[in-house]
Amino acid sequence: MGIYPKSLERLIEHLSRLPGIGQKSAARIALHVLRSDKQLSEDLAMSLIAVKEKIRLCSVCFNITDDDPCRICSDENRADGTLCVVEGPGDQLALEEPGTFKGRYHVLHGVLSPLDGIGPKDLKINELLSRISKEKIREVILATNPTAEGETTASFIAGTLLKDRLDLKITRIALGVPMGGDLKYMDRMTIEHAMKSRMPVEL
């Protein structure tokens, strides 16, 4: 404490509050900012403020976006009729990365978590239901994470959807052995799922 000038000290303190940045990395970043030209600081400050001021939720899919509706919701080349339901914006980004899914998304903003006092009303589930009828959805892909709360959220949504739409196709992302995985170190549950969802070999 107190070995740097006050303004530098303050920058280090703010940086070290960010996830994954400890005291040492914070000091390294702060010193780098100090040595760089002023443009870097200005750009950095402006982009930090822009994130807070410009980013909002898309009124259709509830993903974070600069423009409403978001890029994916306003893209006419994406397939209508298929909706992929995810927990949060980070999950949507991960699914979008391979570029193979051409449908649309719906972001729940969390999972059912009674321990934390989060119930169905706290997630974007009602919004999902109204999209299903409005957008003539035929398939819903439930892509919540395979945790206790993610699984429960998926089955809760499936149950709710099927109550008034028996013709709706509902699928769940597969659970199994990951790339580069080793069966010896897999847990029982994963192995059970992997065996259950095995696929015919195509040559």
Partner 1 sequence: MDMHISPSIIMRIKEFGESDLIVTFFTRDHGRIKGVAKGARRSRRRFSNSLDLFCLSDVEYSLKSNGDIHFLHSSKLIKPFPGIRSDFSALSLASYMIELTEILFPQNIVEKRMFELLKNCFVLLSQGERMDCLRIFFETKAMSLGGYAVSLDKCCHCKRIYSGAGRAVFIPDRGGISCLKCERESEYSIGLEPEAVNILKTLQSESDGSPSEILQLDMKIINKIRHLLKLHIDYRIGRKIKSAEYLDW
For partner 1, the binding residues (CB under 8 A) are 19-20, 112-117, 119-120, 147-149, 151-152, 155-156, 178, 181-182, 185-190
Q: Should residue 107 be labelled a site residue for Zn ion when binding is judged by CB under 5 A?
A: no
| 200 interface partner picked from partner 1, Zn ion, none, CB below 5 to 8 A per type | none
Distance CA 177, CA 188 (A): 11
Q: Should residue 128 be labelled a site residue for Zn ion when binding is judged by CB under 5 A?
A: no
CB of 31 to partner 1, least distance (A): 22
CB of 128 to Zn ion, least distance (A): 13
Beta strands 104-107; 82-86: pairing state = parallel
CB of 68 to partner 1, least distance (A): 29
Q: Which two tokens stand for residue 107?
A: 């972001």
| 114 interface partner picked from partner 1, Zn ion, none, CB below 5 to 8 A per type | partner 1
| 152 interface partner picked from partner 1, Zn ion, none, CB below 5 to 8 A per type | partner 1
Span of 14-22, 27-35, 46-54, 64-72 interacting with Zn ion by CB under 5 A: 64-72
Q: Which of 28, 43, 20, 52 is nearest to 11 (CA)?
A: 28
- Contact status, residue 176 vs residue 190, Cβ threshold 8 Å: yes
Name the residue nearer to partner 1 (CB basis): 81 or 120: 120
Give the CA distances from residue 151 to residues 126, 156, 203, in Å, rounded to whole numbers and listed in that order. 19, 9, 33
Name the residue nearer to partner 1 (CB basis): 121 or 136: 121
- Contact status, residue 105 vs residue 65, Cβ threshold 8 Å: no
Q: At what angle do helices 125-134 and 148-164 cross, to 10 degrees?
A: 40
